[in-house]
Amino acid sequence: MHDSSILTALLLGLIEGLTEFLPVSSTAHVLLAGQFLGFHSPGNSFAVLIQLGAILALVAVYGRKLFQLVLSVPERRESRHFVASVLIAFMPAALIGALAHGFIKSVLFETPVLICAMLIVGGIVLILVDRMVKRPRYDNAMAYPLSLSLNIGFIQCLAMIPGTSRSGATIVGAMLMGADKRSAAEFSFFLALPTMMGAFALDLYKNSGVIRSEDMMLIAIGFVAAFLSALVVVRGLMAFVARQGYALFGWWRIAVGSAGLIGLV
């Protein structure tokens, strides 16, 4: 294992953690950075498997709330409703992800021009939605109607196209359907838990035969880096979103996507 590979895995892990919960597409950032750094993993598994590190950061920050939520399920109707909402929102991605896994990894992950284009398009959408003056109908993620949760779940499936952003799609979708910025971000956080854990398990199962011990070491390095950097983002994102909104992330997406297209020419 070369020192350059270790440093690259470390850098990509930091990028993953910093971008996983922002509406900028962590997968796009990791894949594009890997493309320009000459980094490749068997089955493109690195970009998917290190995401669990970022998810564990979410568990670390919201661990007490998650524990209290689980304990209150038998007694509180609101808790049962929220768990059902998250599971319902998770189901479309679980089904489509399992059926289209091969196409996503072998075609979409290998098309950097498409990734850059989706970054730019998503950035424009994010800026436009952030500027919309719309009175929200839902401001409590725990009380979203099940129909709203299911629709958010369908919208989340757009994120299977790298560059779209899972958090960006779910947050924008929720806002367009009447949710406020803060509750949309919170619901997206909790929906990430089953979604990314499911993606991790599926990808590990599908690619277990091609991942070598050297690859696992690089994945472990990226995993730890993603966990540590995601801790910083998770702790501060909710407060930032409530104050500033999402326009800054939209401009960032446009800048990264444009730079990527220029670099690919």
**Helical H runs in the chain?**
3-19, 26-37, 45-49, 51-72, 77-99, 101-106, 112-131, 146-156, 166-176, 181-207, 213-244, 247-264
Q: How far is the C-alpha of 252 from the C-alpha of 82, rounded, in Å?
A: 32
Looking from the CA of 216 toward its CB, the CA atoms found within 13 Å total 8
pLDDT computed for residue 76 by the predictor: 92
Q: Which domain holds residue 43?
A: 3-264
What does residue 6 show for φ and ψ, rounded to 5 degrees? Answer: -65, -45
Phi-psi region of 163 (alpha: psi -120 to 50; beta: other; left: phi over 0): left
pLDDT computed for residue 3 by the predictor: 61
- Token pair 């993620």: residue: 141
pLDDT computed for residue 77 by the predictor: 93
pLDDT computed for residue 2 by the predictor: 62
CB 81 within 8 A of CB 69: no
- The 10 Å CB-count burial string (b at 16+, else e) for 168-189 is bbbbbbbbebbbbbbbbbbbbb
pLDDT computed for residue 70 by the predictor: 86
CB 219 within 8 A of CB 45: yes
pLDDT computed for residue 1 by the predictor: 54
From residue 62, give the alpha-carbon distance in Å to each of 57, 66, 163.
9, 6, 27
Under DSSP, the state recorded for 125 is: H
- Tens-level pLDDT at each residue, the chain (265 residues): 566 788 999 999 999 998 988 888 998 999 899 888 888 777 678 888 898 898 898 888 888 888 898 899 998 999 999 999 999 999 999 999 888 888 888 888 888 999 999 999 999 998 998 887 678 899 999 999 999 999 999 999 999 998 998 988 999 999 999 998 889 988 998 999 899 888 888 888 888 777 888 888 998 999 999 999 998 888 777 677 667 778 888 999 999 999 999 998 7
Residue whose C-alpha is closest to residue 13's, from 66, 56, 59, 61: 56
State how many domains the chain has: 1
Q: How far is the C-alpha of 24 from the C-alpha of 26, rounded, in Å?
A: 6
Structure tokens at 97: 């992800």
| Number of Cβ within a 10 Å radius of residue 64 | 8
pLDDT computed for residue 93 by the predictor: 93
- Token pair 């992800």: residue: 97
Residue whose C-alpha is closest to residue 101's, from 212, 222, 209, 198: 198
CB 105 within 8 A of CB 31: no
Note if the pTM is more than 0.75: yes
Direct distance between the N- and C-terminal alpha carbons of the chain, in angstroms, rounded to an integer: 31
Q: How far is the C-alpha of 20 from the C-alpha of 108, rounded, in Å?
A: 19
- Indicate the burial class of 199 (C-beta count within 10 angstroms; 0-12, 13-18, 19 or more): buried
